[in-house]
Amino acid sequence: MSTEEVEVKPTAPDLRLKVWKKFHGKFLPKGPLRIRYKALMERWESNPESHGEVTLEELKALLADWRTTQAKGPKPKAAKA
């Protein structure tokens, strides 16, 4: 009996999961960002195999918009009396 070695190639990781996980447990304020997130979440959960055809670009755009709302700007200088 000969033993044949079978190469098992790991599947490529889904980059969408990496971006999607960044929203897990995070607070999204009421408004257009939360509406966009909920719409993407519904599409994502609609089909477990293809995740509702949610694209990486859609997730990155939502993440970028959310981060700009979270970014703190420079503190305003106190007015001198």
Give the pLDDT confidence of 11-68 residue by residue, as tens digits.
667 888 899 898 888 888 789 999 999 999 999 999 888 888 899 999 999 999 988 8
Written as one letter, the residue type at 30 is: K
Q: Is residue 4 part of a domain?
A: no
Is 46 part of a structural domain of the chain? yes
Both tokens assigned to 70: 């979270």
Cα–Cα dist 33/65, whole Å? 8
Residue 3 has what pLDDT? 62
Of the two residues 74 and 15, the one the predictor is more confident about is 15
Q: What is the pLDDT of residue 8?
A: 62
Give domain status of residue 52, yes or no.
Answer: yes
Q: Which residue range forms the structural domain that includes residue 41?
A: 28-69
Q: Is the pTM of this model over 0.85?
A: no
Is residue 20 in some structural domain? no
Counted domains in the chain? 1
Which band of pLDDT confidence, cut at 50, 70 and 90, is reported for residue 1?
Answer: low
What's residue 30's pLDDT?
85
Q: How far apart are CA 21 and CA 51, in angstroms?
A: 14
